[in-house]
């Protein structure tokens, strides 16, 4: 055999070995490349978040900006001056349409925010710059998923000098007295100073009245149904009183149209023996991030409650010897303890919280009045209702790290037997009046541990105007005339209570 014939098999073996080596090398290189790509992509996948909605709730008390996402958002913020602005960096995000839409959601009447700028600051870092109208004290916190919400990052922008409900009430009273004296008529508007010209809720009412139905262009912001028309002007004119102020209410319970007037002695202020105005704190339930119950036709409880409250405020302020304070006058969230605080700050004589019932059974119907209970709820339904209403803080979103919130919750342990007794009396007068315009769910005032009723020194009730979860009653709640009659009934019940339980003098500036 020739040498060439001997070499050929060896070359074949060498080529096969080389091919095997090259194949293994390619596999190793492929695996290494895959590992490298995975190493680069994995962190991006781990921190990638999607924005589900951006919402803005402007109000005099504070402006809230909420960013809802499918994962918790990491952020860093800094407050700058000259000019005032808040810079926020959101980590793990790429700029998308939801964040771009934030720019258009800042309205000219926002008391805190002038404008906002949003951009991709770095890869996976979105920067938001809020140009402010003045100094603010921001609170930034996160909320875990609850109800229909996923993760929420919340920016609460409080004005450096917060509005004082007492000073607002005093200014309102001074304007009322001045115009009564100068013009022989009360003022057309008695709202507090520097109030935005058009609240978010009022804008909802106007938009629906004009468009005749809901719009799908802004899914992040809930809106009331088309037939929920705006309330009339908040403070209609009334004749100037020609005699000392008296409360007018029905005295003839027979319903035969007899004498429908009686009076009570308006209390003195304790300072110079002057007559003081009786103050009623009106609390529209829910608001802002907390819509309350939602009817099958899309009616939001928070809008119903606010509209009835505005109607009631107008009727109370039209009385020569009374005045009203609202815990919220626009569509924003107020924690339960802050509602109590505001009522106590103005030295309210009475407190009424307005809601619209919802229950698991859509056949449930009727109006109700609740007072506080020290010894458990008066029924299983009352307990269920109180638990639902007390969950408002979780839905609306409170900063649990706030020292103020922790301290103020001590109010909820200060309820007294005397307050509950007076609340039951007060509630009975209101219950009888609303029973004339709607079926009652129960013929007595129910009791449960409603947190919002725990002002220790103010008779307090919660009125459920109707069951929003009942389709027929939802239609009634969407009737402007029904809401007006409900406000009338509450006012009449209040005046009947004052007549039967004359308010005492108070040695205070209000």
pLDDT in tens, 22-41: 666 666 666 555 554 444 44
Residue pLDDT, tens place only, 190-248: 343 344 444 444 554 454 445 444 333 333 444 444 444 444 444 444 333 333 333 33
Q: 400 pLDDT band (50/70/90 cuts)? A: confident
**pLDDT over 90 at 503, yes or no:** no
In sequence order, the 6+-apart residues with CB closer than 8 A to the CB of 446 are 368, 369, 370, 371, 377, 378, 379, 381, 382
Q: Is the dihedral of CA 11, 13, 16, 18 positive or negative?
A: negative
**pLDDT over 90 at 369, yes or no:** yes
**pLDDT over 60 at 404, yes or no:** no
Residue pLDDT, tens place only, 10-22: 455 555 555 556 6
State the distance between the two ends of the chain, measured CA to CA, in whole angstroms: 125
| Calpha distance 64→290 (Å, rounded) | 12
**140-144, 212-216, 315-319: which range is least confident on average?**
212-216
Residue boundaries of the structural domains of the chain: 51-159, 165-500
Structure tokens at 159: 């004005």
CATH numeric code, 165-500: 3.40.630.40
CB neighbours of residue 62 within 10 Å = 23
Fold of 51-159: Immunoglobulin-like (2.60.40)
């Amino acid at each position: 055999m020739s040498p060439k014939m001997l070499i050929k098999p060896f070359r074949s073996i060498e080529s096969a070995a080389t091919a095997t080596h090259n194949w293994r090398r390619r596999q190793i290189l492929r695996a290494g490349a895959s590992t490298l790509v995975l190493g680069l992509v994995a962190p991006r996948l781990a921190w990638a978040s999607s924005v589900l909605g951006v919402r803005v709730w402007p109000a005099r008390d504070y402006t809230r900006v909420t960013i809802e996402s499918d994962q918790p958002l990491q952020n860093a913020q800094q407050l700058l001056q000259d000019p005032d602005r808040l810079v926020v960096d959101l980590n793990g995000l790429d700029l998308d349409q939801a964040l771009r839409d934030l720019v258009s959601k800042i309205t000219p009447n926002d008391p805190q925010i002038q404008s906002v700028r949003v951009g991709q600051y770095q890869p996976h870092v979105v920067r938001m710059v809020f140009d402010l109208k003045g100094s603010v004290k921001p609170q930034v916190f996160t909320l875990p998923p609850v109800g229909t919400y996923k993760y929420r990052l919340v920016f609460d922008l409080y004005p450096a000098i917060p509005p004082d409900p007492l000073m607002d009430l005093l200014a309102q009273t001074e304007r009322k007295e001045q115009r009564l004296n100068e013009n022989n008529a009360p003022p057309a508007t008695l709202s507090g100073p520097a109030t935005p010209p058009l609240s978010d809720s009022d804008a909802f009412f106007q938009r629906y009245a004009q468009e005749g139905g809901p719009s799908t262009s802004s899914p992040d912001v809930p809106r009331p149904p088309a037939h929920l028309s705006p309330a009339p002007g908040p403070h209609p004119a009334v004749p100037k009183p020609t005699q000392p102020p008296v409360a007018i209410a029905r005295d003839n319970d027979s319903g035969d149209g007899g004498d429908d007037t009686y009076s009570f002695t308006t209390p003195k202020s304790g300072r110079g023996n002057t007559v003081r105005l009786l103050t009623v704190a009106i609390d529209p339930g829910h608001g802002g991030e907390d819509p309350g119950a939602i009817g099958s036709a899309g009616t939001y409880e928070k809008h119903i409650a606010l509209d009835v409250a505005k109607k009631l405020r107008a009727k109370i302020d039209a009385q020569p010897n009374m005045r009203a304070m609202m815990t919220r006058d626009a569509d924003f969230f107020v924690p339960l303890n802050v509602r109590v605080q505001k009522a106590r700050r103005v030295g309210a004589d009475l407190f009424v919280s307005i809601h619209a019932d919802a229950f698991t059974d859509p056949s449930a119907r009727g109006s109700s009045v609740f007072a506080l209970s020290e010894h458990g709820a008066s029924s299983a339904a009352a307990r269920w209702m109180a638990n639902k209403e007390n969950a408002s803080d979780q839905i609306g979103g409170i900063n649990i790290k706030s020292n103020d919130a922790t301290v103020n919750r001590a109010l909820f342990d200060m309820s007294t037997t005397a307050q509950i007794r007076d609340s039951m009396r007060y509630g009975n007068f209101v219950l009888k009046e609303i029973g004339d315009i709607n079926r009652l769910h129960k013929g007595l005032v129910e009791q449960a541990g409603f947190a919002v009723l725990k002002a220790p020194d103010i008779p307090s009730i919660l009125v459920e105007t109707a069951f929003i979860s009942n389709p027929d009653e939802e239609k009634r709640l969407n009737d402007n005339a029904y809401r007006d009659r409900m406000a009338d009934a509450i006012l009449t019940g209040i005046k009947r209570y004052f007549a039967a339980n004359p308010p005492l003098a108070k040695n205070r500036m209000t």
